[in-house]
Structure 1
Amino acid sequence: MDDELLSLLRMVDTPTVCNAVEVAQGKRGFDAFTRGTVVSSAPASPPVVGYARTAKIAAAAPPSEDPAIIRARRMDYYRHMASGGPPSVAVVEDTDFPHCVGAFWGEINATVHRGLGLSGVLTNGVMRDLGDVPEDFPMIAGSIGPSHAFVHVEAIGVPVTVFGLTVAPGDLVHADRHGAVVVPQDVLPVLAASIAKLRATERLILEPARQEGFNLAKFEEAWARFEAART
């Protein structure tokens, strides 16, 4: 992914990327996207775009392992998150889902991850400190809560599943207040052109619909052009 494509992806929302992947593939059926409703710490911010750095956490019950092992794994977690270079995004599965109780994500962790070069986080877990987290580090999460409970890291650099979306380390993730998608690597060479084609196709409907005098007859004409042009 070159800088020009990265800049473009940071300017378009996740539904646009989801549709553009189908344009690139020439068919419907792309299904590497989240299911259900997410909450965002910064819904008006640009999307989170980057290659996934993954982990699993839990918080509902105290860890059963030796505390020294838990502490060492926590530092290994940060080493993993800092590796690989930008653009990167944390993708963290809370294994307590759907009964998540402990916030791994708040002012401290958001600030640390931002400092380590990550662009944001996608998690099915809990976030907090919404008035204090960095505005340029969006947290796309499953819920909001006040406590960290017994939160601890369980696994690092493994495939994770968040809102029905399986993400492997190194997958290209695009996420915003709508949810997230994993962008297939094979569409990257044509993704910018596919976004442009998608936008042009959508204008066939949007421009007439925004004009004075729009009616059913004009809609039918516009829809015929739209149907002929879209995937």
Structure 2
Amino acid sequence: MCPIDLERLAKFDTPTVCNVIELFDVRPRNAGFMNGDIRACFPGLPPMVGYATTATFRSMAAPPQGQAYGGLNAQFEALPELPGPAIMVFQDLDQPTTAATFGEVMCTMYKAYGSAGLITSGAGRDLDQVRAIDYPVFTSGTICSHGYCHLPDVNAPVTVGGIAITPGMLLHGDCNGVTTVPLEIANEIPDACAEVMRCEQIILDYCRGGHFTPAGLAEARRECDEGIRKLARQLHRGEQVN
């Protein structure tokens, strides 16, 4: 497989990426993206794109060896195996969440190592400081303490936001949420995104034109839908998108 152009993927918002994935018909339309439990802490940051490195997290009780942040070294040792920047993905095993998965120090370390962002099914803290380093984080909430934080399992399958995440999965996230991106179609998505946006612009331009009628809207929608159907046919036949 050719190297994936992550910079081109990051030029498009996550909903548009999801719309394009649907056109390839490689998975059900209700699968592959995280649910509303996972929210961007910094909605104003640009899209986050990278490869999942996974870990489980606990903070209710001390680890067997009594070492805070136990498992962190194993996590960093696994990062060079990824084909690109890492997105740290944590499943908080405590129910309910007891303490924060991350804070300023962890996020600073991750960013220094080239990580593109972090996702946790649990909580975060030090949000002002993490925002100051422009490091995207996605959580289910915030908690002020880290408790007895440790990572029982590193590079194991996890469940976050209602979906299974395995190491090496390609992820795309922004203020709208997080989706997985099938690797086999990733390099085709940017051109298709641009075409979908061109088609949708037909409706947007009509609605903003100041002469709105039901008939005119129907025509604009017909033209948009026709363009997207043509795109879908091209993608299914493996043709290059113009």
Common topology (TM > 0.5): yes
What is the number of equivalent residue pairs in this alignment? 227
Q: What is the aligned counterpart of 1:140 among 138, 141, 148?
A: 138
**Structure 1 gaps, min length 5:** none
Which residue identity does 1:108 align to in structure 2?
V
Which residue identity does 2:123 align to in structure 1?
V
Structure 2 CA distance for aligned equivalents of residues 33 and 141 of structure 1: 15
Does the residue aligned with 1:80 lie in a helix, a strand or coil?
helix
Structure 2 CA distance for aligned equivalents of residues 28 and 220 of structure 1: 28
Residue 67 (structure 1) aligned with residue 77 (structure 2): no
Name the structure 1 match of 2:41: 41
> Once the 2 structures are TM-superposed, how far is the Cα of residue 26 of structure 1 from its aligned partner?
7.9
- Give the TM-score taking structure 1 as reference length: 0.88
- Give the TM-score taking structure 2 as reference length: 0.85
Name the structure 1 match of 2:116: 119
List per-residue Cα deviations over 1:86-145 (Å, max 9, x = no partner): 322111111125x21211211111101001110101111111111111442110111111
Which residue identity does 1:43 align to in structure 2?
P
Q: 1:13 to 1:135 in 2, by over 3 A?
A: farther
Q: Is the Cα–Cα contact under 8 Å of residues 85 and 117 in structure 1 kept in the other structure? A: no
Q: Is the Cα–Cα contact under 8 Å of residues 23 and 198 in structure 1 kept in the other structure? A: no
Range with greater deviation from structure 2 (147-156 or 70-79): 70-79
Which residue identity does 1:174 align to in structure 2?
H
> Once the 2 structures are TM-superposed, how far is the Cα of residue 27 of structure 1 from its aligned partner?
8.4
Q: What is the aligned counterpart of 2:195 among 188, 194, 197?
A: 197
Q: 1:27 to 1:59 in 2, by over 3 A?
A: closer
Name the structure 2 match of 1:158: 156
Which residue identity does 1:52 align to in structure 2?
A
Name the structure 1 match of 2:58: 58
Moved over 4 A (4+): none
Q: Percent identity?
A: 29
**Structure 2 gaps, min length 5:** 230-242
Does the residue aligned with 1:131 lie in a helix, a strand or coil?
helix
Name the structure 2 match of 1:6: 6
> Once the 2 structures are TM-superposed, how far is the Cα of residue 72 of structure 1 from its aligned partner?
5.5
Larger strand proportion of the pair:
1
> Once the 2 structures are TM-superposed, how far is the Cα of residue 11 of structure 1 from its aligned partner?
1.9
> Once the 2 structures are TM-superposed, how far is the Cα of residue 197 of structure 1 from its aligned partner?
2.0
Q: 1:83 to 1:115 in 2, by over 3 A?
A: farther
Q: What is the aligned counterpart of 2:93 among 87, 92, 95?
A: 95
Name the structure 2 match of 1:224: 222
Q: Is the Cα–Cα contact under 8 Å of residues 118 and 138 in structure 2 kept in the other structure? A: yes
Name the structure 1 match of 2:23: 23
Does the residue aligned with 1:152 lie in a helix, a strand or coil?
coil
Q: 1:72 to 1:29 in 2, by over 3 A?
A: closer
Does the residue aligned with 2:164 lie in a helix, a strand or coil?
strand
Q: Is the Cα–Cα contact under 8 Å of residues 69 and 151 in structure 2 kept in the other structure? A: no
Root mean square deviation of aligned Cα:
2.2
> Once the 2 structures are TM-superposed, how far is the Cα of residue 44 of structure 1 from its aligned partner?
0.6
Which residue identity does 2:219 align to in structure 1?
E
Name the structure 1 match of 2:207: 209
> Once the 2 structures are TM-superposed, how far is the Cα of residue 2 of structure 1 from its aligned partner?
4.5
Which residue identity does 2:56 align to in structure 1?
K
Does the residue aligned with 1:111 lie in a helix, a strand or coil?
helix
Structure 1 CA distance for aligned equivalents of residues 228 and 37 of structure 2: 27
Q: Is the Cα–Cα contact under 8 Å of residues 56 and 154 in structure 2 kept in the other structure? A: yes
Name the structure 1 match of 2:233: none
Name the structure 2 match of 1:32: 32
